[in-house]
């Protein structure tokens, strides 16, 4: 497993932006997919975005397409989630996760991820 550390959450007004970071330690992200999931109070954890480390292919939840961008920095072994045009309904704890299952079928499903970060709070005020 790979150890993950998230950062970059905070409080922002609707329409604002935040960038989340997910840094790996213990091993690199090579041959992994890295995803961002989020969990709002009283709701189940849901997929937001994912990136295949080797190919750079990306996947997004429909409601964040065009507003969120997931990217990777090979040298820093870090994945970023740039969030623009934030809405109050984006408020949640955001989790970074890694999975060795790199097929498109798997990366949107949290059950296939075996490494999770501690989570970072994102709050969007109206």
pLDDT at residue number 111: 94
What CA–CA distances, in Å, run from 2 to 5, 32, 113?
Answer: 10, 10, 11
**Torsion (CA) 35, 36, 40, 44 in degrees, nearest 10:** 0
d(CA 42, CA 39): 8
User: Residue 98 belongs to what H/E stretch?
Assistant: strand 92-99
State residue 25's pLDDT score.
Answer: 86
Per-residue pLDDT of the chain (126 residues; tens, 9 = 90+): 789 999 999 999 999 999 999 999 888 888 899 999 999 999 999 999 999 999 999 999 999 999 999 999 989 999 999 999 999 999 999 999 999 998 889 999 999 999 999 999 999 999
pLDDT at residue 30 in the model: 86
DSSP class per residue in 53-86: TTT--EEE-GGGTTTEEEEEETTTTEEEEEE-S-
Please give the Cα distance from 86 to 78 (Å, whole number).
22
**pLDDT number for residue 38:** 98
Given this model, what pLDDT does residue 104 score?
Answer: 87
The separation between CA 112 and the C-alpha centre of its own chain, rounded to angstroms, equals 15
């Amino acid at each position: 497993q790979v150890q993950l550390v998230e950062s970059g959450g905070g409080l922002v007004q609707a329409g604002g932006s935040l960038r989340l970071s997910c840094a790996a330690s213990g091993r690199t992200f090579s041959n992994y997919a890295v995803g961002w999931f989020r969990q709002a109070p009283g709701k189940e954890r849901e997929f937001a975005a994912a990136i295949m480390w080797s190919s750079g292919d990306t996947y997004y939840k429909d409601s964040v397409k065009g507003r969120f961008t997931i990217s990777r920095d090979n040298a820093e072994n870090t994945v970023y989630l740039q969030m623009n045009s934030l809405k109050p309904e984006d408020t949640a704890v955001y989790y970074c996760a890694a999975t060795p299952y790199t097929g498109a079928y798997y990366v949107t499903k949290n059950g296939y991820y075996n490494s999770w970060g501690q989570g970072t709070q994102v709050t969007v005020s109206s």
